[in-house]
Structure 1
Amino acid sequence: MVTLKLTGLKELYTDMKAKGIKRYKFAFTYNKVGFDIFFFTDEIPFKLMFGVKAHNFYFEVNVNNGFIIDTNIGDKYTQLRKILGLQYDPDNPFKTFYFFTEFNKRIPQFANVKNTPEPSDIASYRKDIEESDKIYFMGWRDNEKRGDKVSSENLYKTRLLLDYEAYLICKRKNISSRWTHDKSLAQKFHLPD
Structure 2
Amino acid sequence: MKIKGIKRYKFAFTYNKVSFDVFFFTDETPFKLMFGVKALSFYFELNVNNGFVIDTNIGDKYTQLRKILGLQYNPNNPFKTFYFFSEFDKKIPKHANVNNKPEPSDIAYYKKDIEESEKIYFLSWRDNEKCGKQVSPENLYKTRLLLGYDAYLICKRKNISSCWTHDKSLAQSFYLPD
Q: Out of 106, 120, 128, which is 1:135 matched to?
A: 120
In the TM superposition, what is the alpha-carbon distance from 1:164 to its structure 2 partner? 0.3
1:47 aligned onto 2:60:
no
TM normalised by structure 1 equals: 0.91
Q: Distance in 2 between matches of 1:109 and 1:21?
A: 14
Q: Distance in 1 between matches of 2:63 and 2:132?
A: 48
Tell me which amino acid in the other structure corresponds to 1:21.
I
In the TM superposition, what is the alpha-carbon distance from 1:134 to its structure 2 partner? 0.3
Runs of at least 4 residues off by over 4 Å = none
Tell me which amino acid in the other structure corresponds to 1:66.
G
1:23-42 to structure 2, matched below 5 A, reads 23-42=8-27
Query: Comparing both chains, which one has the higher relative contact order based on Cα–Cα distances under 8 Å and sequence gaps of 6 or more?
Result: 1
Tell me which amino acid in the other structure corresponds to 1:108.
P
1:168 aligned onto 2:153:
yes
Partner of 2:41: 56
Q: Distance in 1 between matches of 2:173 and 2:7?
A: 15
1:183 aligned onto 2:171:
no
Q: Distance in 2 between matches of 1:93 and 1:174?
A: 51
In the TM superposition, what is the alpha-carbon distance from 1:91 to its structure 2 partner? 1.0
1:138-157 to structure 2, matched below 5 A, reads 138-157=123-142
Q: Out of 111, 115, 131, which is 1:126 matched to?
A: 111
Partner of 2:2: 17
Q: Distance in 1 between matches of 2:35 and 2:15?
A: 12
Unmatched tracts of structure 1, length 5 or more: 1-15
Q: Secondary structure at the match of 1:79?
A: helix
Q: Secondary structure at the match of 2:140?
A: helix
Q: Distance in 2 between matches of 1:162 and 1:103?
A: 25
Q: Distance in 2 between matches of 1:112 and 1:165?
A: 21
User: RMSD of the TM alignment (CA)?
Assistant: 0.6
Q: Distance in 2 between matches of 1:31 and 1:122?
A: 23
Q: Distance in 1 between matches of 2:127 and 2:62?
A: 42
Partner of 2:177: 192
In the TM superposition, what is the alpha-carbon distance from 1:165 to its structure 2 partner? 0.6
Write the deviation string for residues 86-136 of structure 1: whole angstroms up to 9, x where unpaired: 011111111001100000000000111111010001111111111110000
Unmatched tracts of structure 2, length 5 or more: none
Q: Distance in 1 between matches of 2:18 and 2:146?
A: 24
Q: Secondary structure at the match of 1:111?
A: coil
In the TM superposition, what is the alpha-carbon distance from 1:43 to its structure 2 partner? 1.5
In the TM superposition, what is the alpha-carbon distance from 1:146 to its structure 2 partner? 0.7
Q: Distance in 2 between matches of 1:77 and 1:146?
A: 47
Q: Distance in 1 between matches of 2:39 and 2:23?
A: 17
